[in-house]
Structure formats: C-alpha cells, structure tokens
Chain A
Amino acid sequence: MKKISLILVITSLAGGFAARAADIVGTITLNGTPPPEVPYTPLMNDSTCGAMYKTTPTTHFYAVGPNHELADVVVSLKGITGKSTGASQPPVTLDQKGCLYEPQILAIQTGQKLVVKNSDSCIHNVHCVPTVSGNPESNQVQMPGGADLDFTFAKPEMFLKFKCDVHPWMFAWVSVFDSPYYGMSDKDGKFIIKNVPPGKYTVEADHRKLGTSTQEVEVKDSDVTVSFTFDVK
C-alpha cells in the first residue's frame, strides 16, 4: 500500500512538472538579400553523380522563403549540460542521395544514434570531422547498398562536419546538444523548443553562414515566443 502511495506521489509530482513546462516558439527571418546560391558544377562534372540530374542542383546556404523566413537555423538553450535524453530517443537519419547529403543541417543529442545511409548507386566515404575533444573522428567507406553506419557523440558540438572525400562538395553539419532543448527552423522560419522547465534562459540561434544571435527569455507556465532576425553581412 505504501509503495502504491509513493508511486502516486511521484507520478503526480512528475505530472505537475510536465504541466508547468512550456514551449519556446518563434520565427527566424533574414533581413537583406543573401548572395546568390551557386550551382554544384563539380557534381555535374562527375560522370556518375552528374547522370542523376537533368539540371544542375544548387547550394542552399541561405534557405530563405518569400517573406524572408529563414530555414536551417539551429536554436538552443545555451549552457545546459548533462540533461541529455539522447540514449532513449529514436535515431536520426542522414542520407546520401544524388551525391548530396540530405538533410545538410541537422541536430541531435549526445548519446543519440545518427544513422548514415547510402541511397546512391555509387561509393561514398563517410568522414566525420569533429573539433571537440571526446568526439572521435572517423572515416569509413560505404558501398552502394552497403550497411548503414551508426554514429553517436559524447560531447556537445556545434556544426560537426560530415564530408565525403570521394565527392568533395558533399557536406552535412550536425549540431550535438547535451539536452533535449533545441530546435531547427523549418521552411517557414518557425522553430519550437519543447517542454522547457520554468526559468531564465539564453536562447541561441546559429546559422552556418550568418553566425550566432542570442536573446534572454524567462519561461513561466505558458509558451514563450522569441524571434530572431539575421542581417546579411
């Protein structure tokens, strides 16, 4: 009986915390006109990869919508460590398709599995190049139709680079966080950081080309909206 009471108390406490947690939502916009995207000319010059396209694909360093909404911005709560739930989260997939990484910007938690696939009919080498000590570098070949490669990272790191040296235009940038409090802006520039406990936080928005922007927020018992505007430098 005592045991059941204890479980009930813990459950209601946990429920109470969950109810008090709120989301941080917002929109990212870009002020100004970014440089024009460039065609993947080396890709088209490669006989195998070029054959996969009718027209030359272009970069999307600046994924900007019609109303200046900016995608591929990684938004996180700064300075939160040791809260990772990555080990229990489903894996995130990074595919190699058409001799390009898909997606090219993504985020995971420490301990969360990242699965790299090769959907192409050609060989790739998956070369991960971390810069933070504790995240080991690795370089593995992946044959067409070869087994998926699994990666996990122990330390948080912004924009950890994945590259293919067989096709040197192929890059993906994986941001690794030590907590579940992060999000990424979608094609509408919107992002959401879910279930943030009450408190004062620094929200950081990072874009590969445009750098970093931060804002201070306080989370109480309802959703908080915070928006960022990046300027073209």
Chain B
Amino acid sequence: MPESALLKFNRPLHGFAVLTALLTFLLLGAGGLVTSHEAGMSVPDWPNSFGYNPFALPFKFWKGGVFFEHTHRLIASAVGLLTTILAVWLWLKDPRRWVQWLGVVAFLLVVAQGILGGMRVVLSEAELGAIHGVVGQSFFVLMSAIALFTGRFWAKWSAVKEMSGARRGLKLLVLAATLSIFCQLILGATMRAQHAGLAITDFPTAYGKVWPDTSPAAVAHYNADRMDVVAEEPITVFQIILQMVHRIIALAILVLVAASAWRAWCQLGLKNPLAKLAVFWLALMVCQIGLGAATIWTNKAADVATAHVLGGALSLVTGALWCIIAFRHSAVLPGIATAATISGAYGGTPAMAANK
C-alpha cells in the first residue's frame, strides 16, 4: 500500500513532536550557556546534584554556575520524558513503520545523550563534552525531522509536484553545504571543549594579520597579553589554527549556501517553498557569521556565544530539512498517492487536498 494512503494527519501528535523539538532547541541553548559560563563541572555528582535528588535540589544552591548546570539537567530530563512519550505515541498511532522506528531511535539517542552528559561530569572528560554537543545537535535535527514527518505539510508536499523542480546539482549543493555545517559544528564543539577562551582575539584579522604568527615567541606574547578573568588557561598553536580553520570553513559555507539560494531561486522561482527556505537559510548564515564575529568582539560573552551555538543548530536543521524534503520528494514521487487517497487523508475533494 502506498505510504500516503496510510497518512492521516494527527494534530495532537504533530503538536507534541513540534513541542519536543522546540524544547530540544531550548535545551541546546541551556547546554550552550553551561559551556559559555564554564559551569559544566559546578555540580560534581550525577545523576544526583550535591547528593540531592535532582528534582528536589533546594533553591539556595541554584546560584552561580550551579544555576546553569542544574537548569540544563532539568530541561534535559523534560526532553527525555517528552521523547519517550513521543516514541510510544508514534509506535501506537503513526501507521508508517519507519517513523515508528525513528521514534525508537530518538528514544535511544536521548538516553545515550543523557548518559554521555553524565559521564562528562563524572569522568571529567572535556572531550566527552564536545561529543555531547555534537550529539545534541544531531538529536535536534532528528526531532525536527520527526516534527516534519508528522506534519500536514509532509503529506501535502508529497502530493504536489511543485517540489520536484530541484535538479540533482542543486540538491547535491545543498547536501554539501549541510554536511559542511555539520563539520563546522564538530569543529565549534571541539573549540568550546578546550575551555580556553578566545584563541584569537580580533576579527576579521587574526592578531593583526591575515594568518597569525604562530611562532613560540608570538604565542608567548599572546598569552602574556591575555588578561581574561575566566579564561585563564594559556592558548596553544593548535587552538589558534583551530579557530582559523573554523573561519575558513565559515566562509566556504557562506559561499555554498549563497550558491544554493541563488540556484534554488533561478530553478524553482521565489514562490517555491524550497527556494524560500534556501533564501531564509542564506539570511540565517549571514546572521550566524555576524554572531561569530560578535563572539570575538565581545570577548566571548556568554549570551552571544550561546546565540552563535543556536544559530549553528538552526543552520544545520534548515539544511537537513531542505535535503530531506527535496530528496524524499524525488525518491517517492512516482509512487505518491492518488488524489483519492489524499482526499481520504485530509477530507474534501482531491483538488482541495492538493491545494492544502
């Protein structure tokens, strides 16, 4: 039986999936604040907090770094609960087997992510923090995808042909940009896991040059000049090069996304949802680069750095959803439902359904 014949829009389920994705986005922000405030180890134990049941930690402890870390843990617990409910709900109510399994994957991923976060604290391994950050971003993509799959638009778009205009070259371009963003997020998470503050303190130059001097004498000079209250650790050549690579990849991503938006506009016309999404993506990318610059200009102010993390998450999700829609459409379009099945799913006449 064609998949779309099974589809019946379930508003509460979709609403719940959207809520879970939104809460995951909030969780990413809370996690970003933990790292930005260098508060990841402020509560030394896990799963308890200072020996207390985490849901009963007295408010007198919610101060300084503890506030950020404990809030992050509580929001994570809420996301875990919502994801569990969503997985069960999908299993029981969504007719598509692959969506049911996606719910199971989401459940397993959120459990693994929780344990990973706990191990980062218990083992005090900064590298685990970087992996925790990347898995968090990936989980957000998954939750956003589930929200998309359960939505009315997913069924509607699978029934109309307006999405089929994207040529293979454009799709591969967007895919390349999305994968580049994912690599960039890994790099960003690695930089944040260094807990060393800004490795390069100026932008667009780097210590006044296009490529900074990384000789031992120059690095010693940079460190002697670093008068940061929080980022006390001396920086290394590796960290300087890491930030330079981050800058270069950011520029490459901007070019890729701009090319994607331009080609989508030319191929599909600006009224096409995929073209609109690509233009939105470009605008997001410009904002994201602005936030990256602001992170440096504000000496890594916690709220600005966290906004930069969230901008990265939104950029990744936008690219990923674009790819899912475009590739999925070309993959299943020939087998897509007849007007009658769509009518059955949404009610009304076939023409009305197609226009929804």
Residues of A within 8 A of B (CB): 35-43, 46-49, 59, 61, 122-123, 125, 127, 129, 137, 139-141, 161, 163, 165-169, 171, 209-211, 232-233
Could you tell me if A38 and B227 are in contact, using CB atoms closer than 8 angstroms? yes
With contact pairs A47-B63, A48-B63, A211-B220 given, residues A166 and B42 touching in the complex (Cβ less than 8 Å): yes
Q: Which single residue of chain A is at the shortest CB-CB distance from B49?
A: A141
- Complex Cα gap A163–B42 (Å): 10
B165 to chain A: which residues have CB within 8 Å? none
Cβ B63 vs Cβ A42 within 8 A? no
List 9 A-B pairs, minimum CB-CB distance, nearest first. A168-B38, A165-B42, A233-B224, A166-B64, A139-B44, A165-B41, A233-B221, A169-B229, A166-B42
The residues of A that contact B42 with a CB separation of less than 8 Å are 125, 165-166
- Smallest Cβ distance from A174 to chain B, in angstroms? 14
Question: Is B64 a contact of A233 with CB atoms below 8 Å?
Answer: no
CB-contacts of B187-240 with A (<8 A): 217, 220-221, 223-230, 232-233
Cα–Cα, bound, A168→B197 (Å): 12
B61 at the interface (CB under 8 A from A): yes
Within the assembled complex, what's the spacing in Å between the Cα atoms of A210 and B37? Answer: 27
Question: Which residues from B are CB-within-8-Å of A163?
Answer: 232
Interface of A is mostly: loop
How many Å from the CB of A83 to the closest CB on chain B?
29
Distance, CA A129 to CA B41, complexed state (A): 11
B66 x A123 contact (CB < 8 A): yes
B64 contacts A35, C-beta separation under 8 Å: no
Find A209's partner among B50, B63, B64, B223 (CB 8 Å cutoff): B223
Interface membership of B350, Cβ < 8 A: no
A166 close to B229 (CB less than 8 A): no
The answer to whether B225 touches A125 (Cβ under 8 A) is no
Per-residue CB proximity of B19-50 to A under 8 Å, as 1/0?
A: 00000000000000000011111111100001
Select A46's contact among B64, B124, B221, beta carbons within 8 Å.
Answer: B64
- Choice from A38, A48, A211, A232 contacting B64 with Cβ under 8 Å: A48
Would you give 11 A-B contacts (Cβ < 8 Å), ordered by A? Answer: A46-B63, A46-B64, A59-B229, A123-B66, A125-B43, A127-B41, A141-B44, A163-B232, A165-B39, A165-B65, A233-B225
- Give the nearest-CB partner of B63 in chain A: A48
Cα distance A140–B227 in the bound complex, in angstroms: 28
Asked whether A137 and B124 contact (CB < 8 A) given A169-B230, A233-B220, the answer is yes
A106 to B: closest C-beta gap in Å: 16
Interface residues of B, Cβ cutoff 8 Å to A: 37-45, 50, 61, 63-66, 69, 124, 217, 220-221, 223-230, 232-233
On whether A139 and B229 interact (CB within 8 A), knowing A48-B64, A123-B63, A210-B224, the answer reads no
CA distance A46 to B226 in the complex (A): 23
Nearest to A167 among chain B residues (CB) is B64
**B residues within 8 A CB of A36?**
227
A-B contact sample (19 more), CB < 8 A, given A35-B224, A43-B229, A171-B232: A37-B227, A40-B229, A48-B64, A61-B227, A122-B64, A127-B41, A139-B41, A139-B44, A141-B44, A141-B45, A141-B50, A161-B232, A165-B69, A166-B64, A167-B64, A168-B39, A168-B230, A233-B217, A233-B221
CA of A232 to CA of B42, assembled, Å = 35
* Chain B hits for A125, CB < 8 A: 41-44
Name the one of B65, B220, B226, B227 contacting A166, with C-beta atoms under 8 angstroms: B65
CB distance from A133 to the nearest CB of B (A): 15
> Closest Cβ of chain B: how far from A180's Cβ, in Å?
28
Least CB distance from B67 to A in Å reads: 9
Asked if A168 meets B227 with Cβ closer than 8 Å, knowing A141-B44, A233-B221, the reply is no
Whole-angstrom distance from the CB of B59 to the nearest CB of chain A?
13
Closest B residue by C-beta to A123: B61
Which among B43, B124, B227 has the greatest number of chain A C-beta atoms within 10 A? B227
Complex: A48 Cα to B60 Cα, angstroms: 11
Within 8 Å by CB of B227, from A35, A123, A169, lies: A35
CB-nearest residue of chain A to B36 = A168
A140-B44 in contact (CB<8A): yes
Evaluate contact between A38 and B225: CB separation under 8 angstroms: no
Given A47-B63, A137-B124, A232-B224, also A165-B50 (CB < 8 A) = no
Nearest-Cβ distance from residue A214 to partner chain B, whole angstroms: 15
The reply to whether A168 and B63 contact each other, CB–CB distance below 8 Å, is: no
Measured in the bound complex, the distance between the Cα atoms of B64 and A169 in whole Å is 11
Contacts of B43 in A (CB 8 A): 125, 141
Which residue of the partner chain A has the closest CB to B60?
Answer: A123
**What is the bound-complex CA distance between A171 and B233, given in angstroms?**
10
The answer for the CA separation of A169 and B231 in the assembled complex, in Å, is: 8
Chain B residues whose CB sits within 8 angstroms of the CB of A141 once the complex forms: 43-45, 50
